[in-house]
Structure 1
Amino acid sequence: MKLMESAENYLETILILKNRNGNVRSIDIANELDFSKASVSVAMKNLREKECITMDDSGFIELTDRGLKIANMIYERHIIISDWLQSLGVDEKTATEDACKIEHVVSAESFEAFKRHIQKEDK
């Protein structure tokens, strides 16, 4: 099942916050993304229903195996595309913004081709 771009962004944000802070609550996501607590609450409910996250009684959010797989995929795409654009001379802010858009629409085949090409350049 393909998730919407917004759901992928939430999963990526959970992964980043978990790596940075060790734990994640909805308020952390709202603060990071500058979204309302209500919007994040609805998104977390949807992600629980899609079995991408779990939430304990204290409100701490964990990625399920499914959620972690998606988050890692999106984050890898983001890093590689952003770094590649910067290596081509695109400024960091623009490269990051463009990577956020591209990471959700690029096919697995095209992304793997990007990676192969970049790895050749690095040698």
Structure 2
Amino acid sequence: MEISKREEEYLETIYILHKNKGIIRVKDIAKMMRVKPPSVVDALKKLNEKGLVEYEKYDRILLTEKGKEIAETTYSKHLLLTQFFIDILGIPPEIAEHDACQFEHYVSEITVQRIREFAQFIQEQCPYVLKQFIKEKLAENQKK
């Protein structure tokens, strides 16, 4: 089954809202994704047809097992990339968050695994070099 990057974003948003609030409403998804409620309803209908969410108008919104699996994978990529950008590359958190959100939908699992392994390696083997690099990047960011 082929799902679009946008559909991945919807699944991830539903997953995050469920984790944080428990109850998921169309207006919450719309607010978080900065779209209009009718767009959310259209997306939910498509995701429902693909068996990724359970959705009935004016009823609860739930991820199916397959939808949850896709959402968890996307969200874990997001967390890893955000931390990598901040902790290893010294990117300011708000930029790292935005970039991770874009990047997570296009990066393969093998790349994610290598980033994870590289981050672990560099933190364990070269902590001093990493600290120096981050210190320099933070100084550069403060000058801008």
The 5-angstrom pairing of residues 1-123 of structure 1 reads 1-56=1-56, 58-87=58-87, 88-123=89-124
CA distance in 2 between counterparts of 1:57 and 1:96 reads: 32
Alpha-carbon separation, structure 1, partners of 2:101 and 2:57 = 32
Structure ID, larger Rg: 2
Q: CA RMSD in A?
A: 1.4
List gaps (5 residues or longer) in structure 1. Answer: none
Q: 2:11 aligns to what SS in structure 1?
A: helix
TM-score by length of 1: 0.93
Q: Could you say what secondary structure the match of 2:104 adopts? A: helix
Of the structure 1 ranges 108-117 and 64-73, higher mean CA displacement relative to structure 2 is found in 108-117
Q: 1:122 to 1:23 in 2, by over 3 A?
A: farther
Amino acid at match of 2:85: L
For the Cα contact (< 8 Å) 2:30–2:36, is it kept in 1?
A: yes
For 1:102 and 1:53, the matched residues in 2 are separated by 24
Consecutive unaligned residues in structure 2, runs of 5 or more: 125-144
Task: Please give the alpha-carbon distance, in whole angstroms, between the structure 2 residues aligned to 1:119 and 1:17.
Answer: 29
- Counterpart Cα distance in 1 of 2:28 and 2:94: 23
Equivalent pairs, count: 123
Distance 1:26 1:92 in 2: 28
Helix, strand or coil for the counterpart of 2:10?
Answer: helix
Greater relative contact order: 1 or 2 (C-alpha under 8 angstroms, separation 6 or more)? 1
State how far apart, in whole Å, the 2-side matches of 1:107 and 1:33 are.
Answer: 23
Residue identity over aligned pairs, in percent, reads: 33
How big is each residue's C-alpha offset from its partner over 1:52-82, in whole Å with a ceiling of 9 and x where there is no partner? 0002564211100100000000000000001
